[in-house]
Structure 1
Amino acid sequence: MDLRETELPGIGRKYSLITRSGEKLVIVVHNDERRDIFHMNPDEPDDMLSVATLDDEEARVVSAIIAGITYKPKFLENQEIALDSLIIEWIRLEPLSKCVGKRIGELDIRRTTGATILAVVGKDKTKHINPGAEYMFTAGLTLVVAGERMQLNLLKTLLLNGTL
């Protein structure tokens, strides 16, 4: 995710972000506590696809929903299982992940991060249990991985950036 913050004198503050999936959002927090959320066209940076304006209370409710404070889907409750210090987690590969087009062995994942890829689930729900070094990453895959928290954080960095 690419996040940029800009002061808007007399207005407030602007946050521009590009998500891992390539979506561009611009959020303006006005001095009067209004929030404008602009969804921009990724192909035409100055072309707005939609806008929503929220007051302070609405913005706080929406942020709690997005942060998972008010509701956590059952899938997410079961997504991470802690066994002492071992964690099993599901990681989705976004189109902008630098690992897309690379092979597991090319990234030397186990030696570099200490984490293990237990399985890969494709967009079409095909499953590859214990994929080998020749398995190539594509956008939209979901990886089932295991390791300690630090190892999984290293793995996420490696998958996103293509290097540590």
Structure 2
Amino acid sequence: MQIERVPLPGIGVGFTLHTAGGQAVGVVCHRSGRRDVVVYAPGDPDTVERSVTLSPTEAQEMAELLHPVATVDHLTPPRGHRETISVAELPVTAASPYDGRSLAEAVAQTQGVSVIAVVRDGHTITAPGLGQRLAHGDVLVVAGGQQSIGALSRALVHAEP
């Protein structure tokens, strides 16, 4: 599946995908944070047949329904440690501001979390270096505290039009 990303000057960014059944659907990410989910007319990618406007909160909830942001496993803390260590899988989505950027850039603002692997096209890159470039479809396997994992998860999915 391919997702097309198109800058929309003065508006934000548009994302379009074509389903296996040939239907074109998209999301328009406005600079204000508003999201419009659009369904294009069959055979005419320029004609919007239907659209639904979502607030930033509604868009986040819809995204979580369609694709869980993270799968988190909680591990028993080692002896002498109070905080639970969690392991999570965090996807790099098409809307991620880190698609095409380095792992170092993605984790720079998040403390208390370590990226222990990157899964790409069914292959696992263990102990990835900070220079590792991220791509749409990658899944980061991370370990750390729940709050830190949550912060990184939010950073990975936050689209900046």
Instruction: Indicate the TM-score class for this superposition, using the shorter chain for normalisation.
Output: 0.5 to 0.7
Change in CA separation of 1:46 and 1:111 when aligned onto 2, cut-off 3 Å: closer
State the 1:39 CA deviation. Answer: 6.1
Q: Deviations over 1:100-158 (max 9, x none)?
A: 11101233x16633211111111x21110010011001000111111111001110122
Instruction: Report the equivalent of 2:153.
Output: 156
Instruction: Report the equivalent of 2:58.
Output: none
Q: Are 1:120 and 2:135 counterparts?
A: no
Change in CA separation of 1:151 and 1:126 when aligned onto 2, cut-off 3 Å: same
Instruction: Report the equivalent of 2:73.
Output: 81
State the 1:47 CA deviation. Answer: 2.4
Task: Give the number of the structure whose alpha-carbon radius of gyration is greater.
Answer: 1
In structure 2, C-alpha distance between the alignment counterparts of 1:143 and 1:96, rounded to whole Å: 16
In structure 1, C-alpha distance between the alignment counterparts of 2:151 and 2:47, rounded to whole Å: 32
**Unpaired stretches in structure 1, ≥5 consecutive residues:** 1-17, 25-37, 50-65, 68-75
Change in CA separation of 1:143 and 1:39 when aligned onto 2, cut-off 3 Å: same
**Unpaired stretches in structure 2, ≥5 consecutive residues:** 1-13, 18-24, 28-36, 52-64, 78-83
Q: Deviations over 1:65-116 (max 9, x none)?
A: x69xxxxxxxx9xx43211411101111111111111101233x16633211
In structure 2, C-alpha distance between the alignment counterparts of 1:110 and 1:82, rounded to whole Å: 24
Q: Which amino acid aligns with 2:119?
A: V
Please give the TM-score of this superposition, normalised by the length of structure 1: 0.51
Identity of aligned residues (%): 19
